[in-house]
Amino acid sequence: MPVFTGQFLIETAEQYVGQELVVSDWVTITQDQVTTFGEITNHLHWMHLDAERAARESPYGGTLVQGFLMSSLLVQFNDMTELRPADSAYALNYGFDRVRYLAPVVTGNGVRLRDRISLLSVEDKGDGRKLMKTSHVLEVEVSDEPALYAEWLALWVPKDID
């Protein structure tokens, strides 16, 4: 599924800066997932959980996918695209430089999202470790406008570190 050719490695990641690396498959988000996320995070607003009321009273015509739920899906998109350097033992989540929720996403009967992932920068942290910043543009199947833009940081650690 990678857009780039060759093997993605920590050691040579710099050569891919500025390039789109992968585009994920579509993932369907259901009302059950939105409700469960709301319950787990104790974010119980009717615009996310009450489909009947949202259909009646919301300006969007249905419940909305939480922005934080969409952000949390970036892990799933990374995993599904196998966007892990082949020479890595693991990565540590280093946080976000930027997250923007660009458009509301209506849950309805299930909405499909996908992620376009590009490599923005690579910073050497010593001992073969590299801090990589990726950009993520979450597309919604029914819209020409993206729903989310994020710049995510991950510290990649090579396999040979003790």
CA neighbor of 141 nearest in space, from 113, 115, 117, 116: 113
Q: Which token pair is 27?
A: 């993932």
The span from the CA of 70 to the CA of 73, in Å, is 5
* Residues 46-64: tens digit of each pLDDT: 999 999 999 999 999 999 9
Domains of the chain and CATH, by start: 13-27+66-158 (3.10.129.10)
* Residues 4-44: tens digit of each pLDDT: 556 889 999 999 999 999 999 999 999 999 999 999 999 99
Q: What is the dihedral of CA 95, 99, 104, 106, to 10 degrees?
A: -30
Strands (E), 55-147: 88-101, 111-124, 130-140
Stretch (H or E) spanning 56: helix 51-57
Cβ burial of 23 (10 Å; 0-12, 13-18, 19+) is middle
Structure confidence at residue 108 (pLDDT): 73
Mean pLDDT value across residues 57-75: 96
